[in-house]
Structure 1
Amino acid sequence: MRFSIFYEHQLPRPWDHGEEHRLYKDALEQIEIADRVGFDYVWEVEHHFLEEYSHSSAPEVFLAAASQRTKRIRLGHGIVQLPPNVNHPARVAERVATLDLVSDGRVDLGTGEASSSAELGGFGVRRTEKREQWADAIDAITRMFVEEPFAGWESKYLQMPPRNVIPKTLQKPHPPLWVACSRRETIHLAARNGVGALSFSFVEPEDAAKWTGEYYRIIESDECVPAGFAVNPNVTVVLPLMLHEDEATAIDRGIDGAHFFGFALAHYYGTTPHDPGRTDVWAEFEERRAARGFDRDRIIANAETLNVNVGSLRGAVGTPEQVIDLVRRYETAGVDQVGFVLQSGPNRHEHICESLELFGKAVMPHFLEGREEREARKAERLAPAIEAALARRAPARKLPPGYQIDEEAELVRARRARRSGRPAGLRPVLAVVRDEAQATARRRVQRGLFRWVHGRPDAEIERRFGARAQRVFFAGMARQYDPSMAAGFEGELEFRLKRTDGTQTAWTIQVRGGKARARQGEAREPAIVIVTGTGDFLRVFAGDANPASLLMDGRLKVRGNVELAPKLSEMFGGPSPY
């Protein structure tokens, strides 16, 4: 049996200035104690917008701080939200690897998809797609850990060209993987993906036995196809905890926190209305707790065997002897780790610290003897099944030789994928070839143009870029027009090219009905007028001059709808300016 502490960073109202600062500093001190007395893990959640219930939106920062104040305790993300709208997979891989390095390889990567309306709606994640997004992202992230370079990704939810995602994790092939579970169905999901199950359902040990049995049956079956490149067969249950030699004192110190944890969880993950910045969850808890199943009067000191749910949620709030018995029942049920929530509701820092010290002294020693041998036997038993499961996992990919970063081609593919609403890989092969051929042709033209204008005086460029060349150039611009990049714009664009002799030539591109046409002459009603020297005009297109610098130097002038100027490049087939 392994033991962990679990943090939501709860902060019931009312709030005073500095309360969040105190909350974080207290938690770091508690983790130092947990590390010293022998706890194996600390889990830190990622939640957003869940006032009072969880003020923990950047767990990687908090865990990094904890890594520098501890020596042995493992640092668990419990969990990272994987929908790309919340966390881009490459950023997850980078942050986890960095944390693994600064902690000397102590990271466990718990993952999830989020379920609260506040978070899903806040980041624009469709509830019906979040499971697919999780599966897609975890596959991509684990490949980022092991592929060097990462061979790229094209799916409905993520389009990313090949890149070497660095740094790499200290643990190989990557940190152990977990997924948040609250129902029997998600326990099965964890097993099918070969990842640890982090259960937050407050189940009794006897019910947990059914879940662990089904979990390990799937792990050892052909159903298990690992999401990563290692299998992490483990089941963790999470419970409220407050410990004291006197049962009544333990209840007095910890039951309100346990009940607020359950009440606030139901508040955000149910259908309770919430007015951001105004709803007082703690006030509602005090008013409605009994009606919602968290009756304080139902929890009495009786010196009997602890049940997790007895009238109201109790968890592991009691004496060391009661908690030893409860943990032993979970151990018998096949649970690998019990995680405890102490920092919840109004629970006081000094009482949390006392409970951690008492747990390390009076409870933990009962579960240390023979633990390593039992875990070794488990690993030996599961080794053939794990080897077979990993053989079913698609291997790491190798990037074909000769690939080079190509911003323009990559932007073309990404832009077309966004426009179609489908991954680029689902488009017809000929369309992919056409896009890349067009991008390659534009690159050749741009490189040739760069060589042609670089270092040449304006007068020489003007002689070569005469009326005929200009006609070809602007006709080519019109052919490259992409209406999906125009944001509905229709109108006339005027370009005035000045020469060193003081004369100038005007060209107009008219955008209408999804098409663009070029003609010589001034626009009748221009939406924008761009005035610059002929040489500077070509230098900008060749990548030999920065339009922002030309603007500041007065060599480029923009009149009319200046907000349209940054969009012109993408409208006519060029790369995004951002």
Structure 2
Amino acid sequence: MKISLFYEFALPRPWSDDDERELFQDGLDEVEAADKAGFSTVWLTEHHFLEEYCHATAPEMFLAAASQRTKNIRLGFGVMHLPPPINHPARIAERVATLDLISNGRVEFGTGEGSSVAELGGFNIDPADKRSMWEEALEVSIRCMTEAPFTGFKGQHVEMAARNVIPKPLQDPHPPVWVACTRPSSVQMAAQKAIGALSFAYTGPEALKDRVDGYYKEFEEQGAPITPAINPNILAIGGDLSMMVAKNDDEAIKRLGIGGGFFSFGIMHYYLTGMHTPGRTGVWELYENAVKEDPTLAYGPGRGAIGGPETVREFLRGYEASGVDEIILLLNPRSHEGTMESIEIMGNEILPEFIERDALAVKAKAKRLEPVIEKVEARRQNWDAPLFDETYAFGGLPTGRGGKFTAGEIPEAMAEINEGRVKAAQAEKEARAAKEAAG
């Protein structure tokens, strides 16, 4: 089992002017330390308008910065929102490919539909459309990464003419594809499409085993790849996977404070039960009051990788026994200094045994899946991409409705450049003539 880190970049109020800068700078220090410690991947979400709960609105920016301070840790979108009103598929392909190149091929392409009222409403997305938006955008973004040129697409939500989208990713044919899975049915869907399942698991490792077994059973029996490269993997993320490791359990609990339960509370607030006034509602204040009424909302040992090394080691072994390929440990609001020491302890005392066993497990899994993958590949469902029209070309000035020019500034600018070039040439000619006359 691989062990990774997950950032939402929660930032409880009250805020000072420097808090957001410090939040990201601390995160970069932590990811650099995690790379040295041996964590597998740093996953960073993308959310919008979820103040206090998540300030990770441009994951590619942070991951790009992290790529230049690390060497081995993989860089995961956990997840990028695919609905076109949020991210156009061509821009998705460009950003994912660019990050893959500058990181030397370390990108994990996690995808999702979005589900909060804040985000869907903020981008004017009808919740009934989000699954079909995801499906169209996934096809177009992957085709943009792999086709030279992309031959065009016309669907319900995306319409794009043929273009050669550049750059192309380093990983051939594209980075591993994942999809966020909040329900067993979405885990089943991921297996059917032969892509990775980013599975939210709130019920502990025992129930997770059924989900893992179900994913691989569905993959073997119904898997029909839709992407050029398959990714038969399932990982777990959830409210009970917060991390804080210290010399002993008491110190870990002290350093985490009440922050361990904020992820789950934030989900309830923004996705289920809360009413939110932008810029006014105090989410952390609501959480503090809820913890006063029910202290169990603040996680401790047994509800996360929280405690001394032995406590955390046993907690992780329980998840390893479920057969899950990877778990992501959440970094909820907590002490930065405590997190840096937590990462160090993980690297020195806990991760090595898991890394060693994972290497053996990966080899055994590859051998076990060889005949399965052969059957799955035989059911491959290729996208119905149009043939490229070799006579197609584009150029000239763009025009708007009624044939009106919409870029008149371009010819005006070119005329100005040409006028300046003519004047400069004339001045140079006159200067030479004057020099010759004087000489």
Q: In which range does the TM-score fall when normalised by the shorter chain?
A: 0.7 to 0.9
Whole-Å separation in 2 of the counterparts to 1:381 and 1:252: 44
> Which residue is equivalent to 1:564?
none
> Which residue is equivalent to 2:361?
374
Q: 2:242 aligns with which of 240, 243, 247?
A: 240
The alignment partner of 1:368 has SS state of helix
Instruction: State the Cα deviation string for residues 388-409 of structure 1 (Å, max 9, x = none).
Output: 333422168573442323479x
Q: 1:386 aligns with which of 352, 370, 373?
A: 373
Q: Is the 8 A contact 2:305 2:315 kept in 1?
A: yes
Whole-Å separation in 2 of the counterparts to 1:220 and 1:404: 42
Shift of 1:45: 0.7
Instruction: State the Cα deviation string for residues 509-541 of structure 1 (Å, max 9, x = none).
Output: xxxxxxxxxxxxxxxxxxxxxxxxxxxxxxx98
> Which residue is equivalent to 1:336?
325
Q: Is the 8 A contact 1:229 1:393 kept in 2?
A: no
The alignment partner of 1:286 has SS state of helix
1:353 pairs with 2:340: yes
Q: How does 1:452-531 map to 2 (within 5 A)?
A: none
Structure 2: which amino acid aligns with 1:233? Answer: P
Structure 1: which amino acid aligns with 2:316? Answer: V
Q: 1:316 aligns with which of 305, 320, 329?
A: 305
When the two structures are superposed, what TM-score results if normalisation uses the length of structure 2?
0.87
The alignment partner of 1:369 has SS state of helix
Whole-Å separation in 1 of the counterparts to 2:132 and 2:108: 22
> Which residue is equivalent to 2:425?
none
Whole-Å separation in 1 of the counterparts to 2:23 and 2:374: 44
Instruction: Give the aligned CA root-mean-square deviation in angstroms.
Output: 2.7
Shift of 1:372: 2.1
Shift of 1:255: 4.8
Whole-Å separation in 2 of the counterparts to 1:546 and 1:38: 53
Q: 1:402 aligns with which of 390, 395, 398?
A: 390
Q: Is the 8 A contact 2:248 2:309 kept in 1?
A: no
Q: Report runs of 4+ in structure 1 exceeding 6 Å deviation.
A: 540-543, 545-548
Shift of 1:250: 1.2
Instruction: State the Cα deviation string for residues 360-413 of structure 1 (Å, max 9, x = none).
Output: 1111122133432321121122123323333422168573442323479x989x
Whole-Å separation in 2 of the counterparts to 1:411 and 1:191: 45
> Larger deviation: 178-187 or 277-286?
178-187
Structure 1: which amino acid aligns with 2:235? Answer: T
The alignment partner of 1:4 has SS state of strand
Whole-Å separation in 1 of the counterparts to 2:297 and 2:361: 40
Shift of 1:547: 10
Whole-Å separation in 2 of the counterparts to 1:91 and 1:150: 13
> Which residue is equivalent to 2:148?
148
The alignment partner of 2:258 has SS state of helix
Q: Is the 8 A contact 1:263 1:289 kept in 2?
A: no
Instruction: State the Cα deviation string for residues 276-334 of structure 1 (Å, max 9, x = none).
Output: 001111111111235578445xx67xxxxx54xxxxxx222122212211221211111
Higher alpha-carbon Rg: 1
Shift of 1:224: 1.4
Whole-Å separation in 1 of the counterparts to 2:329 and 2:386: 43
The alignment partner of 2:75 has SS state of strand
Shift of 1:13: 0.1
Q: Is the 8 A contact 2:399 2:405 kept in 1?
A: no
Whole-Å separation in 2 of the counterparts to 1:546 and 1:272: 48
Shift of 1:109: 0.3
Instruction: State the Cα deviation string for residues 220-239 of structure 1 (Å, max 9, x = none).
Output: 11x21223111111111121
Structure 1: which amino acid aligns with 2:131? Answer: R
> Which residue is equivalent to 2:426?
none
> Which residue is equivalent to 1:505?
none
Q: Is the 8 A contact 2:139 2:383 kept in 1?
A: no
Structure 1: which amino acid aligns with 2:256? Answer: G
Q: Is the 8 A contact 1:149 1:399 kept in 2?
A: no
Q: Is the 8 A contact 2:89 2:137 kept in 1?
A: yes
> Which residue is equivalent to 1:274?
276
> Which residue is equivalent to 2:110?
110
Q: 1:325 aligns with which of 314, 319, 343?
A: 314
1:171 pairs with 2:159: no
Structure 1: which amino acid aligns with 2:382? Answer: A
Q: Is the 8 A contact 1:263 1:292 kept in 2?
A: no
> Which residue is equivalent to 1:467?
none
Q: Is the 8 A contact 1:94 1:165 kept in 2?
A: yes
Q: Is the 8 A contact 2:226 2:383 kept in 1?
A: no
Whole-Å separation in 2 of the counterparts to 1:145 and 1:112: 18
Whole-Å separation in 2 of the counterparts to 1:45 and 1:10: 11
Q: RCO (CA 8 Å, sep 6+): is it higher in 1 or 2?
A: 2
Whole-Å separation in 1 of the counterparts to 2:276 and 2:8: 19
Structure 1: which amino acid aligns with 2:89? Answer: P
Whole-Å separation in 2 of the counterparts to 1:124 and 1:395: 28
> Larger deviation: 353-362 or 372-381?
372-381
Q: Is the 8 A contact 1:146 1:173 kept in 2?
A: yes
> Which residue is equivalent to 1:228?
227
Whole-Å separation in 2 of the counterparts to 1:162 and 1:542: 22
When the two structures are superposed, what TM-score results if normalisation uses the length of structure 1?
0.67
Q: Residues 194 and 547 from structure 1, CA distance in 2 versus in 1: closer, same or farther, beyond 3 angstroms?
A: closer
Q: Unaligned stretches of 5+ in structure 1?
A: 301-305, 308-313, 413-484, 487-539, 554-578
Q: Residues 549 and 145 from structure 1, CA distance in 2 versus in 1: closer, same or farther, beyond 3 angstroms?
A: closer
Q: Is the 8 A contact 1:133 1:157 kept in 2?
A: yes
Shift of 1:107: 0.4
> Larger deviation: 4-13 or 139-148?
139-148
Q: Is the 8 A contact 1:202 1:237 kept in 2?
A: no
Instruction: State the Cα deviation string for residues 481-516 of structure 1 (Å, max 9, x = none).
Output: xxxx69xxxxxxxxxxxxxxxxxxxxxxxxxxxxxx
Structure 1: which amino acid aligns with 2:154? Answer: E
Q: Unaligned stretches of 5+ in structure 2?
A: 417-439
The alignment partner of 1:220 has SS state of helix
Q: Residues 249 and 542 from structure 1, CA distance in 2 versus in 1: closer, same or farther, beyond 3 angstroms?
A: closer
Q: Residues 549 and 58 from structure 1, CA distance in 2 versus in 1: closer, same or farther, beyond 3 angstroms?
A: same
Q: Is the 8 A contact 1:193 1:225 kept in 2?
A: yes
Q: How does 1:419-438 map to 2 (within 5 A)?
A: none
Shift of 1:271: 3.1
Q: Residues 396 and 372 from structure 1, CA distance in 2 versus in 1: closer, same or farther, beyond 3 angstroms?
A: farther
Q: Is the 8 A contact 1:244 1:319 kept in 2?
A: yes
> Which residue is equivalent to 2:79?
79
